[in-house]
Amino acid sequence: MKIRKKTVINIAIILFVLSFFVTPLGHHSKIWLMQLFAFSPEVTEEAEREQITDYDWTLKDANWNFFNFERSEGKVVFINFWASWRLPSLPELKGIQKLYDTYGDQVDFYIITDEEREPVETFMEEYGFTFPVTYLIIGNRSPVDTSDPPRSYVIDQEGYVVVNQQGIADWNSARVHELLDVLLGK
């Protein structure tokens, strides 16, 4: 019995697709594909930008100490809501780490999760992330929508939401760097 070339190709494709579901290769492949297809976030047109007027928002820092978002009023702010258990968060956080490495001393970064400390610390260590983690206090009012991570915002010094991104994006793109440089007055 002779197997046709088309049958072999079909079997190979089926095995490749199955590998996404039953092997570690699938996990890494999904992350790679998400990074490949993540594009720069869309900048909101100036006329359509909403302004944050109330910065009174209580959060917790990495040491579980309470602090108020008011400390970022008048600054350029990057906010990202993520969850370690949401696969799309991982490839996005890799780009955010690079962005933080470049702008961490110029932009206020809020990389926010609503998880407990222990799994977050394990996740951060496993992937080598060094950006500061902020913890959301569930039920506390917020100046931005905190639902359905990943979700991100860039806020200018006057409190206008310049970027409102639902889903993953490439935060380490030249376009984002140019935007932050403009917002910082460089």
Q: What is the pLDDT of residues 26-63, one digit of tens each?
A: 555 555 555 656 677 888 999 999 999 999 999 999 99
Residue 103: predicted pLDDT: 97
Q: Which fold has domain 40-183?
A: Glutaredoxin (3.40.30)
Residue 33: predicted pLDDT: 58
Residue 48: predicted pLDDT: 95
DSSP 136: -
Residue 90: predicted pLDDT: 76
In whole angstroms, what is the distance from residue 92 CA to residue 104 CA? 17
In whole angstroms, what is the distance from residue 28 CA to residue 34 CA? 10
Residue 27: predicted pLDDT: 56
Q: Return the number of other C-beta atoms located less than 10 Å from residue 162's C-beta.
A: 20
In whole angstroms, what is the distance from residue 134 CA to residue 64 CA? 9
140 or 99: which carries more pLDDT confidence? 99
Percent of the chain with pLDDT over 90: 58
* Least confident interval from 53-67, 85-99, 141-155, 166-180: 85-99
* Least confident interval from 1-10, 78-87, 94-103, 113-122: 1-10
149 or 33: which carries more pLDDT confidence? 149
Query: Taking all residues of the chain, what is their mean pLDDT, rounded to a whole number?
Result: 87
Percent of the chain with pLDDT over 70: 87
Residue 6: predicted pLDDT: 83
Beta bridge partners of 55: none
Report domain extents, the chain: 5-35, 40-183
Inter-helix orientation angle 117-127/89-103, to 10°:
70
pTM, whole model, 2 decimals? Answer: 0.81
Residue 105: predicted pLDDT: 95
pLDDT at 23 over 80: no
| Residue 104 structure tokens | 């961490």
- Pairing mode, if any, of strands 133-135 and 108-113? parallel
